[in-house]
Amino acid sequence: MSKDRVVLAYSGGLDTSVAIGWIGEQTGSEVIAVAVDVGQGGEDLQVIRQRALGCGAVEAYVADAREEFATEYCMPALKANGMYQKRYPLVSALSRPLISKHLVKAAREFDATTVAHGCTGKGNDQVRFEVSITSIGPDLNCIAPVRDLALTRDVAIEYANKHSLPIETTKHNPFSIDQNVWGRAIETGFLEDIWNAPTKDVYNYTDDPTYPPLPDEVEIEFKQGVPVAIDGRPLSPLQIIQEMNRRAGAQGIGRIDIVEDRLVGIKSREIYEAPGAIALIAAHEELENVTVEREQARFKKTVDQRWAELVYDGQWFSPLKKSLDAFVDDTQYYVNGTIRMTLHGGRAVVTGRKTDSGLYDFNLATYETGDTFDQSHSRGFIEIYGLPAKMSAARDERFGRGL
């Protein structure tokens, strides 16, 4: 009789390497390790694959998903100006549904009944993984070795040393770090005291904006809300994010220090670096200002906020998220053109806008000769527009409630 199989989201680090053998001992199941590259950098996928096998995995599934992540996850986030609590560009939240998709794919390929991840019981990611996994594969079970099988860090280090696993063990890394091409998230350690300022060693994607290099002017071309070229050079979404990470990061753009509301109900201090994401969102928002009709734009801000909350809360595959995607995509039809920005000293400042599908009309907007706006219409417009407030004020006066 064959053993049950568990698919494990595998990073190549200490905890998930130990989890391979730990899951086997605790559940009697064989483990398939799944490593998904979403632009986190570090080791080659084949090195990670061999380490997983060396730690006892019966199979190892690896996927270079950087282009998929940039195109199918980061670009929808850009079109929705996805910023949780108006500041966090959903760095980790965006990668979880993609990783979950590959976990389910591996479970089907290798006849696994359970999917495992390395999250704790007090974070957002446990929810994001498990809701995403069961949304795609509702028949699959989910476990978390740290949360469900008592795999603490001290236990992991002891286990790795005892079994001579091919992985470096250390108790001295003060931070928990998650990163991908869209940005980098840093938490724990001394940052848990919210009075403590971040130190220089917290940052990796961005240089100190206090002493920046010379200003960097960049032109970003968009088609239907998606960037397609930088300084006239056609590039893929991944290439555009990578170049903006490099150029905006050199200017210290995209550093975020926030106490955010976690899905599980606690507040958490997080440090983020997202130079490319922050610069691209700023450019996209400004192009929307020029091309999206006023009432549509006002309502889209509400949709953008709700979209970000859904993604943060692990609802990427939910019916509401799907419906909001349809609205967002419809608003992007005319979001075409080029934005010129100056990157300098921690700021991405728009200095120019150019589009053939915008709603800005120079002849209507100008105060100079050639103005085509008929100002004689304004008096009657104001009378009608202010009529409800005028009538209410008159009633207040009659009943002694006037100002």
Which parts are annotated binding residues for L-aspartate?
120, 124-125
DSSP-assigned beta bridge partners for residue 183? 180
Query: Of the listed 15, 37, 178, 313, which one is catalytic?
Result: 15
Residues 6+ apart with CB under 8 A from 8: 16, 19, 20, 23, 31, 32, 33, 34, 57, 115, 116, 117
Distance in angstroms (rounded) separating the CA atoms of residues 32 and 27: 14
Residue 392 appears among annotated catalytic residues? no
Can you count the helices (H) and strands (E) in the chain?
15, 14
CB neighbour burial string for 356-385, b if at least 16 within 10 angstroms, e if fewer: eebeeeeeeeeeeeeeeeeeeeeeeeeeee
Instruction: Of 184, 145, 175, 155, give the one whose Cα is nearest residue 38.
Output: 184
Answer for the pair 59, 6: CB distance below 8 angstroms, yes or no: no
Q: Is 378 a catalytic residue?
A: no
- Beginning with the edge strand found earlier in the chain, give each strand of the sheet holding 5-9 in spatial order: 59-64, 30-37, 5-9, 114-116, 141-143
Catalytic residue, candidates 5, 96, 184, 269: 96
Give binding residues as ranges: 9-17, 88, 118, 120, 124-125, 128, 176, 260, 272
Annotated binding residues for ATP: 9-17, 118
Known active-site residue 15: yes
- Which positions make up the binding site for L-citrulline? 88, 124, 128, 176, 260, 272
| From 37, 125, 207, 313, active-site residue | 125
Q: Which of 64, 176, 361, 392 is catalytic?
A: 176
Active site residues: 15, 96, 125, 176
